[in-house]
Amino acid sequence: MTHLKDRANHTTKLYWQKPYDTQFSARVAEVWQDDEHVYAVLDSTLFYPEGGGQPSDRGIIQLPQGMRFCVDHVFEQDGRIVHVLSPDQVTAAGVLKPGQVVHGQIDWDRRFDFMQQHTGQHILSRAFELVCNASTVGFHLGDDYVSIDLGVESVDDNQITQTEDLANQMVFSNLPVESREYASGRLPDHIRRRIPAGSDLVRVVYVGDFDACACGGTHVKATGEIGIIKINRLDRAHGGVRVIFRCGKRALADLRMKEQILDRVARSLSVGYQDLPETVAALSEKASGLDKEVSRLKKELLEYEIREIARQAGSQDTGKAPDFGSPGWIAGGEDFAVCRCEGKLPQELRYMARSVSELTGKTVIMFSQAPQFSLVVASASAQPGKGKKGKDIPPRQNAALLVSELGQIWGLRGGGAPQLAQMGAKEPLSLTGQRILDDIRGIMSKLGT
């Protein structure tokens, strides 16, 4: 868009002259397009271009014969204000021509919301200066919330309350908001905010005699129209403090939503919302106590299961076939036991296998199929009092060797020490219980007696 610089005409800023007007007529000065958009410059406009932290206006531009163009975005470049028309208007680009008179209409709800937020920001920034000696170093007006960044490391709760009170006192006082333009060399003293270098004419916005700030945005004409300024939250940002706040209708919508949430939670707990902090604290304490009780009971249940498995494994009749259809079965021989034990975490399986081995004096092979195959081998030689090191453990009791042999048959990889080893897969093993038992017995026979 470098060709813009060739033109000397500046767009007349109707949004400064008549900030409460919603419709206007203007003449098209320039039209061009690229692959995505059509761009139009008018000789005057009510559309505020994005700048100074305030987003641009939106709305429509209409030709006398009725054709409408949606204005999606507006920006200023070299004194001209460029209206970006939405992509689906591109085909109509040839219709809009320089010299034509068009009718424009801005989205007033959006604009008035920005005027409330922006004027509120002027007041809040000044209030932070007076209460906390904190100057505003950044400003953002988003679709949901507004934020200013303060050039101080911290502000406390008391300062926030004082600042919010002072700002709202200025709202309730319904101070006039006016703007005046000055040549940059003739600015009065005490203007908040730096003046950009090279500005020949500077617009200063006055909020009564409370604040004076160089600004090119749009503002309400009296502070009462802001309604309320509500600080919502503080964040850390760029080594300073980011203040999230909402004004006017936004603040009302936010408070309404919060009240609905509070009401819903309070109803679900059958208390008044004032009693929520104590009620939630009591519930949290109760939940924590229950968690501890559940852990204790789970541990107790695990110990019970271990004793029961050990009782059966210890007296296992090697000739009797277990019920392979059940989620838990025990089989084995004189010096080893095979247990299917579902619904356990890997660390629980390890603990159980070691404990059962200790209680029975047998090498224990324990596995579960769901949600994925997991197998643990605890060697009988690993038990206290046996006094055997890894190299002294016979092959038949060597957990790592057993896992390695089984892995070769089943195509799985495992690992561990001669005393304790394990193996797993991402899915259940597609083998019957009988087959798993037969494979283990086969390995045991191969490794000797």
Which contacts of 232-240 are long-range, i.e. CB under 8 A and separated by 24 or more positions? 232/145, 234/155, 234/160, 235/147, 237/138, 237/149, 238/138, 238/149, 239/153, 240/137, 240/149, 240/150, 240/151, 240/152, 240/153
Which of the ranges 8-16, 115-123, 259-267, 383-391 carries the binding residues for Zn ion, by CB under 5 A? 115-123
Least separation in angstroms between CB 82 and Zn ion: 21
User: Minimal CA–CA distance to 54: which of 118, 124, 106, 7?
Assistant: 118
Which two tokens mark 408? 């070769």
Which two tokens mark 264? 């819903």
Which two tokens mark 171? 């709202």
Nearer to Zn ion, 217 or 240 (CB): 217
**Is the distance from CB of 238 to CB of 176 less than 8 angstroms?**
no
Q: Is 19 in the site for Zn ion (CB under 5 A)?
A: no
User: Minimal CA–CA distance to 115: which of 141, 139, 148, 84?
Assistant: 141
Least separation in angstroms between CB 58 and Zn ion: 19
Least separation in angstroms between CB 22 and Zn ion: 20
Please enumerate in sequence order all residues whose Cβ is within 8 A of that of 232, keeping only pairs 6 or more positions apart, or say none: 145, 244, 245, 246, 254
User: If 0-12 CB within 10 Å is exposed, 13-18 middle and 19+ buried, where does residue 406 land?
Assistant: buried
Nearer to Zn ion, 120 or 433 (CB): 120
**Is the distance from CB of 415 to CB of 363 less than 8 angstroms?**
no
Least separation in angstroms between CB 52 and Zn ion: 6
Least separation in angstroms between CB 186 and Zn ion: 21
Nearer to Zn ion, 120 or 416 (CB): 120
Which two tokens mark 354? 């070691």
Least separation in angstroms between CB 89 and Zn ion: 31
Which two tokens mark 59? 């709305």
Nearer to Zn ion, 118 or 344 (CB): 118
Annotate 61-117 with three-state secondary structure.
Answer: EECCCCCEEEEEEEEEECCEEEEEECHHHHHHHHHCCCCCEEEEEECHHHHHHHHHH
Nearer to Zn ion, 129 or 335 (CB): 129
User: Minimal CA–CA distance to 443: which of 339, 345, 350, 332?
Assistant: 332
The correct pick among 19, 49, 120, 217 for binding Zn ion (CB under 5 A) is: 217
What is the rounded distance in angstroms from the CA atom of residue 361 to the CA atom of residue 379?
A: 9
Which of the ranges 207-215, 260-268, 329-337, 341-349 carries the binding residues for Zn ion, by CB under 5 A? 207-215
Least separation in angstroms between CB 138 and Zn ion: 14
Least separation in angstroms between CB 216 and Zn ion: 7
Least separation in angstroms between CB 215 and Zn ion: 3
Least separation in angstroms between CB 118 and Zn ion: 5
Which of the ranges 81-89, 117-125, 181-189, 227-235 carries the binding residues for Zn ion, by CB under 5 A? 117-125
- Counts of helices then strands in the chain (DSSP H, E): 8, 21
What is the rounded distance in angstroms from the CA atom of residue 439 to the CA atom of residue 423?
A: 15
Nearer to Zn ion, 215 or 377 (CB): 215
> How many Cβ atoms are within 10 Å of 128's Cβ, its own excluded?
26
Q: How many residues bind Zn ion (CB under 5 A)?
A: 3
Least separation in angstroms between CB 4 and Zn ion: 25
The correct pick among 207, 215, 440, 444 for binding Zn ion (CB under 5 A) is: 215
Which two tokens mark 130? 């007076």
Nearer to Zn ion, 53 or 416 (CB): 53
Nearer to Zn ion, 24 or 48 (CB): 48
Which of the ranges 187-195, 209-217, 266-274, 420-428 carries the binding residues for Zn ion, by CB under 5 A? 209-217
Nearer to Zn ion, 73 or 193 (CB): 193
Q: In what helix (H) or strand (E) does residue 124 lie, and over which residues does it extend?
A: helix 108-132
Nearer to Zn ion, 121 or 368 (CB): 121
Nearest residue to Zn ion by CB is 215
Annotate 388-408 with three-state secondary structure.
Answer: CCHHHCCHHHCHHHHHHHHHH
User: Minimal CA–CA distance to 371: which of 427, 429, 312?
Assistant: 427
Interaction mask 75-114, Zn ion, x per CB under 5 A: ----------------------------------------
Least separation in angstroms between CB 76 and Zn ion: 15
Nearer to Zn ion, 227 or 416 (CB): 227
Q: Footprint of Zn ion on this chain (CB under 5 A)?
A: 118, 215, 217
